[in-house]
Amino acid sequence: MNMNHDNSDCVCLHSRRSTIAVLARQGEPLRLVHLGQRIDEPYLFEGQEYPELYPSVGIDMHRQDAFCISDPRTSERIPVQLLVAQVHNREDSLCLLLEDRDVGVSLSLQIHSFRASDLFSFQLSITNEADDPLVLEYASSLFLPLPFKTGTVTSFSGRWASEMHMHHTVLQTGTFSLAEQCGVRTTRYTNPSVIIGEGDRPAAEYSGTCIGAAVAHSGNYSIEIHAEAESQMLLRIAEPRMTSRRELQAGKTHTCPLVLLSHSDEGMTGLTHSFHSWAREEGLRDGKRERLTVLNSWEAAYFDFNEKTLKGLIDRAAECGIELFVLDDGWFGELYPRDDDSSSLGDWEVNPRKLPNGLCGLSEYCREKGLGFGLWVEPEMISRASRLYERHPEWVFASDRLVATEERNQLLLDLSRREVIAFIKEVFSSLLVPENGISYIKWDCNRHVHSLSGPPEVLEGYIRGYYEILSWLESSYPLVTIQNCASGGGRVEYGALSRTHEFWTSDCTDAHNRIYMQWGSSHFYPPYVAASHVSSTPNHITGRSIPMKFRCDVAMAGRMGIEMDPAGATDRELAILKQAVSDYKSIRHILTEGDFYRLCSPYGNEYTASMFSTEREAVLFIYCIDYRPGDWRAPLRLRGLLDDTTYRIRELNRTDSERHMMNLSKRMTADGASFRGEVLRIEGLPIAFSGQYESRVYHLY
């Protein structure tokens, strides 16, 4: 091989452990040289055909293309040959401008490296440089040849009350595709994230090569992975073709949704650490701040409450050591009181029949009891039975005016309209006055857009409006925490999360079901912002009965809260609940700062386990979900500990009453023991259960 060959057009962008290298020769197509493990000086092999990045329809023999432009008069597709025109390479970013001067199209690609987190972001814009309009049929945010011959795709999907279940698909040839066209609540069925492991098995937890990508956008998306007859793979993230066609006027630019990407040679855990670290640093509001414990009124009271009953609930929240009381749906509507879900959305003033002293009466009471006060609002919605609808039927989102589709008896407001944005800001301005003492908003969104919803520009305008209001809230009320809720996990993506503080994982609060959802969402989204509430038993959605300790132990692995009236608990359950809230506060800094490790999957196993580790401390969660009698179990090997450090173990959530009642033999708990990190890593911690829904939470320090 030629040792003095010309490497000068090979441009690299590094993160701590990975490198993206492209061949960016002036006047030639942009090509990918390397995506993977960090390499300081990639070698350009002579005669090697490096794959083109962002090829258009009609150019060469490409079987897949990144974008397509057509002529608005004839609908003919126009081949576009983009050639490198400018390259700006800085330590943490790479900006490339590609042009086809004959057609009059340019493409700007910005790749940013978040070095410490080992994560790259991709932002792509296409500009019509011609004198006449063009049609952009579709464009890809990311079009990335992958360094794998075959791969296994891991994705997360589900439905209402059953979000984020993990699925694996081996892809040797053909296409795997995920898409969402719900317009505004785009993680309801399928999360916009994917992991591709090299080879014909899912990426392992701690070893092996994989790539993880997530779309940071609250609108429609499609993720496709193509495998070409065991020769190469390709990842394409784009707007779905059905909703992406738009006219691009002369001089106009279309910017595609931001995509986040990470490469790991340390299995799925490597990816998880990258995404969690990026979320703490960049991807969440106040990402390093510990989240408060919450009692949310929904499952405790639904629509049936008044000031007196809520004060009782606040008393009991305070007794449990909770830090924030959140008043959910049902507090508003004067002419159309919100007593069920058939009316009132849009009329965001207090119902005086239920709350004669207004919101300030309640917030004042919370303050006396040492609690913060939060409020549920669904600002994007309008009910036909509302004063707002009487005044502004024209504010309803376009397609609903045409086809009158209702979901949960409600319609969407058109957030692409300035007057609607102004109205929603006014609503918040009047709610967030100092006397109301509101420090937390639960922003809900209980319906999505019908698939017939007009041109993509309207939806884009909607998402821009949604983001504008969230940014305005951030700058005008920086101390107000925002929970991102959309019938549960309908907006668990980094477009919404980067403008909010936490998310409501699911309307299903059954601890058994939550284990799977929390497991799934932990791959890309940090557990300390996944709201996880202890609810009553039998569970309101599944009817399943689960002991209080297990319910608490599951809630403690996320942002802990309560979703029930503690008055419904027995004395013993109440003692466990109080203990759990107090124990949670003593370890939540570990959840916030620590690295998360999935130790044993809930899929197909008797028990599941995970842990968070900081340099000095750790917290370990073990849940038996499918008890299989037998004495011996392989010890559980722990992660993230320092070999030479001795850790003491304190079992959390163990009340004295429980100790006596269970009369467990000593080997059932590690409470009080001390072990070196190396022992816990190599030999592991002995595990024992005596039945389903037994659980352990250990603090190691």
Q: Provide, rounded to whole angstroms, the least separation between the CB of residue 388 and ligand GLA.
A: 17
Q: List Cα–Cα distances, 595 to 117, 270, 406, in angstroms.
A: 12, 10, 43
Identify each DSSP E strand in 18-60 by its residue range. 18-23, 31-37
Q: Provide, rounded to whole angstroms, the least separation between the CB of residue 285 and ligand GLA.
A: 20
Residue 422's contacts (CB-CB under 8 Å, 6 or more residues apart) are: none
The residue (of 462 and 504) whose beta carbon lies closer to ligand GLA is 504
Q: How far is CA 40 from the centre of its chain?
A: 33
Measured torsion, CA atoms of residues 314, 317, 323, 327, in degrees rounded to the nearest 10: -50
Tokens 């450090």 identify what position?
Answer: 645
Tokens 């079987």 identify what position?
Answer: 63
CA-wise closest residue to 188 among 555, 451, 528: 451
Q: Provide, rounded to whole angstroms, the least separation between the CB of residue 406 and ligand GLA.
A: 15
Task: Give the three-state DSSP class for 130.
Answer: coil
The residue (of 205 and 507) whose beta carbon lies closer to ligand GLA is 507
Q: Provide, rounded to whole angstroms, the least separation between the CB of residue 504 and ligand GLA.
A: 6
Q: How far is CA 605 from the centre of its chain?
A: 26
The residue (of 373 and 376) whose beta carbon lies closer to ligand GLA is 376
Residues in the chain: 701
The residue (of 328 and 347) whose beta carbon lies closer to ligand GLA is 328
Phi-psi category of residue 561: left, alpha or beta, with phi > 0 → left and psi -120 to 50 → alpha: beta
Cβ–Cβ under 8 Å, residues 134 and 71: yes
Q: Provide, rounded to whole angstroms, the least separation between the CB of residue 392 and ligand GLA.
A: 22
DSSP lists the bridge partners of residue 151 as 171, 198
Nearest residue relative to ligand GLA (C-beta): 329
The values of phi and psi at residue 175, to 5°, are: -125, 135
Active-site hit among 65, 444, 510, 553: 444
The residue (of 294 and 609) whose beta carbon lies closer to ligand GLA is 294
Q: List Cα–Cα distances, 414 to 271, 427, 449, 484, 640, in angstroms.
A: 37, 16, 11, 19, 48
Q: Provide, rounded to whole angstroms, the least separation between the CB of residue 596 and ligand GLA.
A: 25
CA-wise closest residue to 277 among 121, 113, 116: 116
Active-site hit among 65, 118, 329, 507: 507
The residue (of 400 and 507) whose beta carbon lies closer to ligand GLA is 507
Count of Cβ atoms closer than 10 Å to residue 85 Cβ: 17
Q: Provide, rounded to whole angstroms, the least separation between the CB of residue 308 and ligand GLA.
A: 21
Residues found near ligand GLA in the complex (CB under 6 A)? 298, 328-329, 376, 444, 446, 485, 487-488, 504, 507
What's the number of CA atoms in the CB half-sphere (13 Å) around residue 156? 28
- Judged on CB neighbours under 10 Å (0-12, 13-18, 19+), 312 is middle
Residue 693's contacts (CB-CB under 8 Å, 6 or more residues apart) are: 511, 512, 546, 547, 550, 623, 624, 625
According to DSSP, residue 523 is labeled: T
Q: Is 6 a catalytic residue?
A: no
Q: Is 444 a catalytic residue?
A: yes
Pairing of strands 67-70, 77-78: antiparallel
The residue (of 274 and 296) whose beta carbon lies closer to ligand GLA is 296
The residue (of 302 and 627) whose beta carbon lies closer to ligand GLA is 302
Q: Provide, rounded to whole angstroms, the least separation between the CB of residue 188 and ligand GLA.
A: 11
Q: Provide, rounded to whole angstroms, the least separation between the CB of residue 477 and ligand GLA.
A: 21
Pairing of strands 83-89, 93-100: antiparallel
The residue (of 441 and 576) whose beta carbon lies closer to ligand GLA is 441
Active-site residue set? 444, 507
